[in-house]
Amino acid sequence: MRELVMDTETTGLDPDEGHRIVEIGAVELINHMPTGRTYHQYINPQRPMTADAFAVHGLGDDFLAQYPPFDRIVDGFLAFVGADRMVIHNAPFDMRFINAELTWLGRPSLPESQALDTLALARKRFPGSPASLDALCRRFAIDNSSREKHGALLDSEILAEVYLELIGGRQPDFGLSGPANTSSDGPRQTRSWRPGPRPNPLPPRLTEAERAAHRAFVATLGDSPVWSRYGGGESGS
């Protein structure tokens, strides 16, 4: 199962007011394990940055002017995402911006069902508790000391760790599942794990003195001790 843990940074809070995406970051997971493959792109929003947004992520107009606009990165972005699940903290916010950008280009929107919202997942698991990314890092003892400002790739890397804790840890099946049949639109089907025989039997741990003591004890139990019915053939008879 392939998942993309993802985050975006924007010029503001509402695409209906003309705000745009300025950064996308994503971390690839396969069967809940990071592969080391990432996606990261700064984007020229072709509009001024708001002061409030700049205070959050520190991406200014001069810096972003050197990067391509969304229409020049959209194909690479969609190719990376494919039809696989996107894991996003406060997914409705990011999905609204992504789909606004796609709509402005006349592209089909990504289905909301393709996104898994870790904010909703955290609120369900810890009702009434703070569920921000920083709060979840504190809860799970995840180091986010490098997060002085928001950054899409850094936040995706941190969110990947948080997500794996939310679903039960980095290896939720402890590697005991058999080979997986995966698809982008359905759950993983796994084969039950069963232990096999040892390739080399363990050596006996009894000493000869212990064996002799056992034979002497069995000899005191009479002519037909029950022990001999269960493979205890060392009765001395």
Cα dihedral across residues 32, 38, 43, 48: positive or negative: positive
Nearest to 236 by CA among 209, 205, 223: 223
CB atoms within 10 A of CB 6: 28
Residue that has been written with the tokens 């592209």 in this structure: 107
Q: Is 40 a catalytic site residue?
A: no
CB 163 within 8 A of CB 23: no
Q: What six digits make up the tokens of 120?
A: 């909703």
Characterize 57-71 residue by residue with b for buried, 16 or more Cβ atoms within 10 angstroms of its Cβ, and e for exposed: bebeeeebeebeebe
Give the tokens for residue 234: 């060392």
Tokens standing for residue 114: 């393709």
Tally of residues, the chain: 237
- For the beta sheet containing 2-10, the strands, ordered from the edge strand earlier in sequence to the opposite edge, are 33-42, 21-30, 2-10, 85-88, 115-117
Annotated catalytic sites, by residue? 150
